[in-house]
Amino acid sequence: MEVKILSARFDIENANRIDVARQHGAYQTLDTLFAMEQADVIETVKASGLRGRGGAGFPTGVKWGFLPKDTGKPVYLAVNADESEPATFKDRYILVRDPHALIEGIIICSYAIGCHDSYIYIRGEYTSQVKILQQAIDEAYAEGYLGDRVAGRNFRLDVTVHRGAGAYVCGEETALLESIEGKKGQPRSKPPFPAVVGLFGCPTIINNVQSIASLPFIITNGADAYKAYGTEKSCGTHLFGISGHVEKPGMYELPLGLPLAEVIETVAGGVWKGRRLKGVIPGGSSTPVLTPDEVATVTLDYESMAAHKTMFGSGGIVVLDETVDMVKLVENLIAFYHHESCGQCTPCREGLGWMLKIVRRLLAGEGTVADIKLLRELCDNIEMKTVCVLSAACTMPVRSYLDKFRDEFEAYAIDGAPEQTELREG
């Protein structure tokens, strides 16, 4: 099932070093690239069907097309390497194992959109990773792939790494821009959209690491070669991170469109310890949970996920076995979003803390059925009333657990805190 497009150099030793990467094809797209018109690059990316791999899945080429022409202002590219959505760890592989694919992708995108200053916003926790990335950038400068004359062409491109410092919300693209501008990472109201008013008030494109790293393949092999993978509307491949209760957790590159159940079974070795499946979080913690019945019918693409009332998200798949206490899991999730709320908008700032305390009240055996109802209602009251979707990233999954595993919440409310579940091991 696995394919090697993005991950082609992942298993090559020292592929993070430029000489090794070059031996295996890095930077070989640039001759093709600079022979193309900028507009043709954008068209090719549009035709490839590449969609933003950060979680929202917006078509990458279309996004580039939103840039206003001839504003007289610089155009910026901000690369989103803030990978912080729980269960997501795919971009890290690119940053560490093939950073030159990212840099090559940045050159491609920058050429296409007329950008000369790109910033990579990398989450602060990626401490060893940022060193490898910076080393790769330094090498690319030394070898003439970055700097005043990219690959000998009359094209300047500077790439600067900006380190985050522990704030999930900075993965939201306007919060990311605020953070680069030296502010708290608090998302901006839209409109205006970043393509029009972005970094330092200038037109800006923000793309996820994986989206950018997908570009060299598309430019080298053409849109059709990329579209050969995946489904009609969900083209190409994706780095899926499979974690939780499986025998072989890890990162796997797969074409889009595969059946989730089969992937869990054959790629990830199935539910661990011979246990039964209780549910699957399909695309990072903010995507609504799927029940075993739903898992049986869903495929790994944007459309099927939407049809199952969840989201493709970041491709971070979490398998939950039968021992999982869904109320405790929900407490873990709300605690995360509460901790990460930027504190700007009233509903998210005040509401997530309230939700967390209600769940904790249930867990302490002090909750009532009315608390469950209130929790469910708060999901509705908070969601989509805020500047960004951080609160919705909490309420959407929480609502799914409340609806699909209601009895577990009610058990806490009616019977109080139960003894430790028997199946749970020490």
Compare residues 221 and 323 and give the one whose CB is closer to other proteins: 323
Compare residues 77 and 223 and give the one whose CB is closer to other proteins: 77
Going 300 to 306 to 310 to 311, the CA torsion angle's sign is positive
Residue type, 402: L
22-81 positions binding other proteins, by CB under 8 A: none
Compare residues 143 and 158 and give the one whose CB is closer to other proteins: 158
Greatest Cα pair distance in the chain: 72
**Contact call for residues 365 and 317 (beta carbons, < 8 A):** no
351 binds other proteins (CB under 8 A): yes
The torsion of the CA quartet 91, 95, 99, 102, rounded to 10 degrees, works out to 30
- Collapsing DSSP to helix, strand or coil, 49 comes out as coil
* Candidate ranges 107-115, 212-220, 224-232, 343-351; the one touching other proteins (CB under 8 A): 343-351
Compare residues 301 and 371 and give the one whose CB is closer to other proteins: 371
421 binds other proteins (CB under 8 A): no
Minimum gap (Å) between residue 251 Cβ and other proteins: 6
Number of residues that bind other proteins (CB under 8 A): 81
Q: Which residue in 336, 249, 314, 390 sits closest to 90, CA to CA?
A: 314
Q: How far apart are CA 80 and CA 230, in angstroms?
A: 24
Among 308, 316, 326, 389, binds other proteins (CB under 8 A): 316
Beta bridge partners of 317: 242
Minimum gap (Å) between residue 392 Cβ and other proteins: 13
338 binds other proteins (CB under 8 A): yes
Compare residues 214 and 285 and give the one whose CB is closer to other proteins: 285
399 binds other proteins (CB under 8 A): no
* Candidate ranges 20-28, 293-301, 349-357, 400-408; the one touching other proteins (CB under 8 A): 349-357
Among 27, 64, 89, 229, binds other proteins (CB under 8 A): 89
> In this structure, what token pair is assigned to residue 36?
């193309």
104-143 positions binding other proteins, by CB under 8 A: 123-128
- Write the CB contacts of 322 (distance below 8 Å, at least 6 apart in sequence): 275, 276, 277, 278, 423
* Candidate ranges 14-22, 48-56, 304-312, 332-340; the one touching other proteins (CB under 8 A): 332-340
Compare residues 23 and 368 and give the one whose CB is closer to other proteins: 368
Compare residues 230 and 241 and give the one whose CB is closer to other proteins: 241
221-280 positions binding other proteins, by CB under 8 A: 241-245, 249-251
**Contact call for residues 1 and 237 (beta carbons, < 8 A):** no
Residue type, 314: S
Minimum gap (Å) between residue 29 Cβ and other proteins: 26
Query: Sheet harboring 237-244: ordered strands across?
Result: 250-255, 237-244, 316-321, 277-281
* Candidate ranges 22-30, 46-54, 137-145, 383-391; the one touching other proteins (CB under 8 A): 383-391
**Contact call for residues 89 and 215 (beta carbons, < 8 A):** no
Q: How far apart are CA 27 and CA 18, in angstroms?
A: 9
Among 1, 142, 165, 369, binds other proteins (CB under 8 A): 165
332 binds other proteins (CB under 8 A): yes
Minimum gap (Å) between residue 219 Cβ and other proteins: 27
Q: How far apart are CA 366 and CA 387, in angstroms?
A: 34
Among 107, 151, 298, 358, binds other proteins (CB under 8 A): 358
Compare residues 16 and 48 and give the one whose CB is closer to other proteins: 16
Q: How far apart are CA 2 and CA 4, in angstroms?
A: 7
Q: Which residue has the tokens 């491109």?
A: 157
Compare residues 4 and 357 and give the one whose CB is closer to other proteins: 357
Q: Which residue has the tokens 């602060």?
A: 124
181-220 positions binding other proteins, by CB under 8 A: 181-185, 189, 200
Beta strands of 113-208 (E only): which ranges?
115-122, 158-163, 204-208
